[in-house]
Amino acid sequence: MKALLVILLVTGTAAADPIADAIAEKLQPMLPANVGVAQVFVPASFAGASPANVIVEAPSSPLRPGRPSVKVTIKHKTLYVPVALAAMTDVAVVTHAVASGTVLTAADFSIEHRALLGAPAPAAQVIGATLLKDVDAGTPLGAHDLALPAPTPRGTHVTVDIAHGTLHIKGQGTLELAARVGELATVRLAFNQTVVKGTLIAPGAVVVGDQP
């Protein structure tokens, strides 16, 4: 019979386990650049063991994103422990417990570079998004955890900051297409009716070229 597994997020919630953290910490230096441990599936027989006794054997070949198993020994017990590996990316991580239905502000999260299973919530769109479930401090936000705010509608008057190196031109314009914060925005400039493309950095502000 296969050993029971306790599924644990390595860096996530209050349910995180010291054994999972220890396995992830010891495995991380053995991974290729920009690959991290997103999740550790700790065997139930390791529950209650001391993290100080965790030994992770170096893999015989380079590990890639996916779900390999790694050889772990704690004292005299050796098991192959499944781990989920993923590419490192910028992830919004809540800094305190947040209830479902909360509209998130900058005070609710920080951006960390870490591994995550599934698609992360778009970092530029977290502010103003509505949380779809209760989360604890340290929880990384996936795209499925949030309801994004409605896009800024076509025809909205916006400020436009055109920046190329040391050149800065500020003016006014009108959105030609609806867009959300962080997305590509198409704007018709008021002073010469030229259509330009930039990034909507706030509901009423577009940057074209180098972002501040």
Give the chain's mean pLDDT.
89
C-beta separation of 12 from 91 below 8 A = no
Q: Per DSSP, what are the bridge partners of residue 195?
A: 188
Mention every residue, 6+ apart, whose C-beta is less than 8 A from residue 38. Answer: 10, 84, 85, 86, 115, 116, 117
The domain 157-209 is classified under which CATH number: 3.40.50.970, 3.30.565.10, 2.30.30.760, 2.160.20.10? 2.30.30.760
The domain 88-147 is classified under which CATH number: 3.30.70.100, 3.90.1210.10, 3.60.70.12, 3.40.50.11720? 3.90.1210.10
Better-predicted residue by pLDDT, 168 or 157: 157
Cα–Cα distance for residue pair 13/176, rounded to 1 Å: 42
Asked whether residue 13 carries a pLDDT value surpassing 50, the answer given is no
Cα–Cα distance for residue pair 128/154, rounded to 1 Å: 19
Asked whether residue 155 carries a pLDDT value surpassing 60, the answer given is yes
Closest to 39 measured CA to CA, from 11, 19, 63, 18? 11
Q: How confident is the model at residue 212 (pLDDT cuts 50, 70, 90)?
A: low
